[in-house]
């Protein structure tokens, strides 16, 4: 009953939202209402699937010269606290599970003599240049499959740059920092789709490594959500009955069963928990809340609409008392970065607060605001931006 009621409210608010949307040509990031037209958020199937059809979009190269010049060494030193269970950083420091990392910048990969590297690392080849460190630290297993560093990676570019800038200082004779790229590097190849494609997939052009990584992650996410799109189009926006039907799949959670969408956040979470997959920070391990909305421009949850999904999350957390979850907040790329970072954090915190108020242990929920990072759709269309304004969740530990 509360479900249907919620949908009706959502329908009404949605209609208002759509009118506002029509009027709102300048509001950009200020217009933050996140009423999905139908469950799943993915209201614009055409633009979404055309993303997939046209292949990766050209992305400018990562300018390590600029990024590292602006990085914060002190923050990097703090961040490597996460590495100290396996690595030492001082000159002549002990070997732990991983090799000593003094002077690692521009060192040969697998280059500490006496450390027994995995075959994958020993055979990786080349030096730890800035781009390779960046790509490795973002997702160690993806960059060197089979390597033995059992660490999920640093998802935020800022964190990676701070860490690399810190590593760079750990040398009697630090390697030169890269030069900022020339302006020409940022001019997209003129009308050369084929070349853009080749670039985005290029595997050994070092400076492109991060862009490649990013393009791939975006593509993965789109694929991941492809089937959801199809489901979503089938339901006309106004048709509340269809919306209700879309939630009608019953998901077994221990000995309780709850209703959700086949591709909704509940199904994905439960499937993950029941699998033997390790928690990970890759795009494929994050699931988007499909029935969660906030009041426009604020971090106030619209509980009339959001309560049923939050109830479901509570049921799941009760059924699996060992899991902890990470909630990520995201915005589109319009508006001020600072405001977007704050809003996305506040929204992730609001979801946590609502769940804690419902009795979920505070220490089981972690939050982070990523602002416009990690878009799942193009920010060039309103539909894409609406998809990017979201709350995601992943299993953090089990």
Binding residues for ligand HEC (CB under 6 A): 80, 82-83, 85-87, 97-99, 101, 104, 109-112, 117-118, 120-121, 128, 137, 147-151, 154, 163
The nearest distance, CB 54 to ligand HEC, in angstroms, is 35
The nearest distance, CB 144 to ligand HEC, in angstroms, is 7
The nearest distance, CB 109 to ligand HEC, in angstroms, is 5
Going by C-beta distance under 8 Å and a sequence separation of 6 or more, which residues neighbour residue 64?
130, 131, 134, 177, 178, 207
Residue 376 · residue 214 · CB < 8 Å: no
First to last CA, the chain: 33
**Cα(89)–Cα(100) distance, integer angstroms:** 6
- Show the tokens assigned to 343: 């809003």
> Which CA distances in Å does 137 have to 154, 159, 164, 205?
6, 10, 9, 17
> Which CA distances in Å does 235 have to 56, 168, 186, 288?
29, 54, 42, 19
**Cα(29)–Cα(359) distance, integer angstroms:** 33
CB closer to ligand HEC, 163 vs 395:
163
CB closer to ligand HEC, 83 vs 243:
83
CB closer to ligand HEC, 108 vs 300:
108
CB closer to ligand HEC, 36 vs 76:
76
CA count, 13 A, side-chain hemisphere, 320: 22
CB closer to ligand HEC, 115 vs 320:
115
- Show the tokens assigned to 181: 């790229």
The nearest distance, CB 364 to ligand HEC, in angstroms, is 22
The nearest distance, CB 100 to ligand HEC, in angstroms, is 8
The nearest distance, CB 205 to ligand HEC, in angstroms, is 20
CB closer to ligand HEC, 119 vs 300:
119
CB closer to ligand HEC, 117 vs 289:
117
Q: Long-range contacts for 378-381 (Cβ within 8 Å, ≥24 apart)?
A: 378/47, 378/51, 378/57, 379/332, 379/333, 379/334, 381/44, 381/47
The nearest distance, CB 154 to ligand HEC, in angstroms, is 6
CB closer to ligand HEC, 147 vs 378:
147
Going by C-beta distance under 8 Å and a sequence separation of 6 or more, which residues neighbour residue 252?
270
The nearest distance, CB 91 to ligand HEC, in angstroms, is 15
**Cα(107)–Cα(253) distance, integer angstroms:** 49
């Amino acid at each position: 009953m509360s479900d249907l009621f919620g949908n009706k409210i959502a329908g009404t608010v949605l209609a208002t939202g759509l009118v506002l949307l029509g009027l709102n040509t300048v509001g950009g990031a200020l217009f933050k209402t996140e009423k999905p037209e139908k469950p799943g958020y993915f209201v614009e199937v055409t633009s979404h699937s055309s993303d997939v059809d046209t292949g990766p979009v050209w992305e400018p190269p990562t300018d390590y010269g600029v990024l590292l010049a602006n990085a914060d060494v002190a923050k990097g030193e703090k961040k490597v606290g996460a590495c100290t269970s396996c690595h030492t950083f001082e000159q002549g420091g002990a070997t732990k599970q991983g090799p000593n990392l003094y002077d690692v910048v521009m060192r040969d990969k697998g280059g500490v003599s006496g450390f027994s590297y995995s075959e994958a690392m020993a055979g990786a080849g080349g030096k730890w240049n800035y781009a390779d460190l960046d790509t490795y630290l973002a997702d160690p297993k993806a960059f060197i499959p089979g390597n033995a560093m059992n660490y999920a990676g640093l998802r935020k570019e800022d964190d990676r740059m701070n860490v690399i800038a810190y590593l760079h200082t750990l040398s009697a004779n630090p390697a030169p920092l890269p030069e900022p790229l020339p302006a020409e590097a940022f001019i997209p190849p003129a009308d050369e789709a084929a070349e853009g494609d080749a670039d985005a997939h290029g595997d050994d052009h070092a400076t492109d490594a991060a862009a490649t990584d990013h393009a791939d992650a975006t593509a993965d996410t789109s694929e991941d959500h492809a089937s959801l799109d199809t489901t979503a189009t089938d339901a006309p926006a106004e048709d509340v009955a269809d919306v209700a039907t879309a939630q009608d799949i019953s998901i077994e959670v221990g000995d309780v069963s709850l209703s959700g969408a086949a591709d909704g956040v509940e199904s994905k979470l439960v499937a993950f928990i029941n699998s033997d997959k390790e928690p990970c920070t890759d795009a494929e391990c994050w699931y988007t809340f499909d029935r969660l909305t906030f009041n426009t421009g604020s971090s106030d949850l619209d509980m009339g609409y959001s309560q049923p999904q939050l109830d479901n999350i509570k049921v799941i957390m009760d059924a699996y008392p060992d899991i902890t979850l990470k909630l990520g907040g995201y915005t589109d790329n319009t508006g001020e970065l600072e405001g977007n970072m704050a809003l996305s954090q506040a929204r992730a915190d609001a979801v946590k607060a609502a769940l804690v108020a419902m009795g979920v242990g505070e220490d089981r929920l972690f939050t982070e605001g990523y602002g416009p990072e990690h878009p799942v759709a193009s920010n060039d269309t309103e539909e894409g931006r609406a998809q990017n304004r979201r709350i995601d969740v992943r299993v953090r530990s089990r």
